[in-house]
């Protein structure tokens, strides 16, 4: 039923497209206006105020370094998990089910869940104390333990968002034809050779898109950090949130929104350059 009609598809797409355009376009314009004007005149005062605030640079640093630690680890972990699970074994369905549970768990809930593991009276500390591995609890929270808070965020975020990467990689793995692998086996390639010469190269598109998608979402990281560390570990979205809700500084908050949008647009441009929307092809 592929019909070449002139106006029907545009008519069907227009409402959704207009809606999205408004919700992306309007805030962008409004943010630019709020950030770069004062009393109706062009002004760089807000930009100067934001850029001279050490919190801004800390937030930028932590947002990027969190993404830098979390995203590659997630992708590596997800590849190992997907390769491990992508075979026939007893309990496969349950394992995949368990691995996908965090997909539906919010960042706020994941933060609270990991607080129960890592707090001074939490599971991990009590376990280690009782089997005698440590004599005093390990402190993960509080300003003086910032580097441990960083670790706690990484642990919680690995737990929460590795599932998404796992699903992308697993879907990619399942699309690799068995014939390639069987042919390689016939010619005497062992598991590692097959992995290196066939599986990993064919997985490359999935790995790339997982990397970029996770990096983009990592720019907006908020809930998990806000729950586990508050402003001890400043992040871009968190600072924007704080400026807006606590200090009512719409102008400074707008700059944070613009910085996150700018980072996303740059990364998104890379995404479009490397990826194509092949999976949307009309089938049949």
Partner 1 sequence: MNEETKFILKKLVFYAFIFTVVAWIVIPIIISTLYGFALPKDYYDPKKILPTSFTIKYVKTLLITLGALDGIKNSIIVALITIAISFALGIPAGYAVAKFIFPGKDTIKLSIVALRMFPIPVMAIPLVILYIRLHLIDTLLGVALAHTAMSLPFVVLITSSIFAGVSKELEEAAMVFGLTRLGSFFKITLPLALPGLAAAAMFTFVMSWNEVFVASILTLAHRTLPAQILSIMAGASGGAAPDYYKFAAAFIMILPAITFIFFARKYLVTMWGITLK
Q: Return the residues of window 241-270 that contact partner 1 according to CB under 8 A.
A: 241, 244-246, 250, 253-254, 256-257, 260-261, 264-265, 267-268
Please report how close the Cβ of residue 198 comes to partner 1 at its closest, in angstroms: 20
CA gap 146, 152 in Å, rounded? 10
Largest CA distance in the chain: 75
Q: Give residue 215's region: left, alpha or beta (phi > 0; psi -120 to 50).
A: alpha
CA gap 99, 101 in Å, rounded? 6
- When binding is defined by CB under 8 A, the residue of 71, 78, 99, 153 that contacts partner 1 is 99
Contacts of 118 (CB under 8 A, 6+ apart): 124, 125, 140, 141, 152, 155
Q: Is residue 208 involved in binding partner 1 (CB under 8 A)?
A: no
- When binding is defined by CB under 8 A, the residue of 47, 64, 69, 96 that contacts partner 1 is 96
Question: Which is nearer to partner 1, 179 or 246 (by Cβ)?
Answer: 246
Q: Is residue 30 involved in binding partner 1 (CB under 8 A)?
A: yes
State which of positions 66-85 bind partner 1 (CB under 8 A).
81, 84-85
Segment lying near partner 1 (by CB under 8 A), choices 46-54, 59-67, 89-97, 146-154: 89-97
Contacts of 219 (CB under 8 A, 6+ apart): 63, 67, 236, 260, 263, 264, 267
**Contact (Cβ atoms closer than 8 angstroms) between residue 68 and residue 214:** no
State which of positions 35-64 bind partner 1 (CB under 8 A).
none
Q: Is residue 134 involved in binding partner 1 (CB under 8 A)?
A: no
State which of positions 157-196 bind partner 1 (CB under 8 A).
159, 164, 167-168, 170-171
**Contact (Cβ atoms closer than 8 angstroms) between residue 159 and residue 110:** yes
Q: Is residue 116 involved in binding partner 1 (CB under 8 A)?
A: yes
CA 255 to chain centre: 21
State which of positions 225-244 bind partner 1 (CB under 8 A).
226-227, 230, 237, 240-241, 244
Q: Is residue 97 involved in binding partner 1 (CB under 8 A)?
A: yes
Please report how close the Cβ of residue 60 comes to partner 1 at its closest, in angstroms: 14
Neighbours of 222 (CB within 10 A): 16
């Amino acid at each position: 039923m592929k019909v070449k009609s002139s106006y029907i598809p545009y008519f069907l797409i227009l409402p959704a497209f207009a809606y999205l355009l408004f919700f992306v376009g309007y805030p962008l314009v409004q943010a630019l206006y709020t950030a770069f004007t004062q009393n109706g005149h062009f002004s760089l005062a807000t930009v100067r105020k934001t850029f001279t605030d050490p919190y801004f640079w800390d937030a930028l640093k932590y947002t990027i370094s969190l993404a830098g630690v979390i995203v590659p680890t997630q992708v590596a972990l997800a590849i190992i998990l997907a390769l491990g699970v992508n075979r026939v074994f007893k309990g496969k369905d349950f394992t995949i089910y368990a691995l996908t549970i965090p997909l539906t768990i919010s960042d706020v809930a994941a933060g609270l869940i990991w607080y129960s593991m890592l707090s001074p009276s939490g599971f991990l500390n009590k376990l280690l104390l009782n089997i005698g591995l440590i004599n005093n609890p390990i402190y993960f929270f509080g300003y003086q333990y910032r580097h441990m808070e960083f670790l706690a965020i990484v642990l919680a975020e690995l737990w929460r968002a590795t599932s998404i990467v796992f699903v992308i990689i697993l879907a990619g793995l399942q699309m690799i034809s068995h014939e390639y692998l069987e042919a390689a086996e016939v010619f005497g390639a062992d598991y590692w050779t097959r992995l290196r010469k066939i599986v990993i190269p064919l997985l490359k598109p999935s790995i790339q898109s997982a990397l970029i998608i996770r990096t983009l979402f990592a720019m907006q990281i908020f809930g998990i950090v806000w729950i586990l560390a508050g402003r001890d570990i400043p992040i871009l979205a968190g600072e924007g949130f704080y400026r807006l809700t606590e200090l009512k500084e719409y102008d400074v908050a707008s700059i944070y929104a613009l910085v996150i949008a700018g980072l996303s647009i740059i990364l998104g441009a890379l995404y479009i350059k490397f990826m194509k929307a092949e999976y949307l092809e009309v089938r049949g």
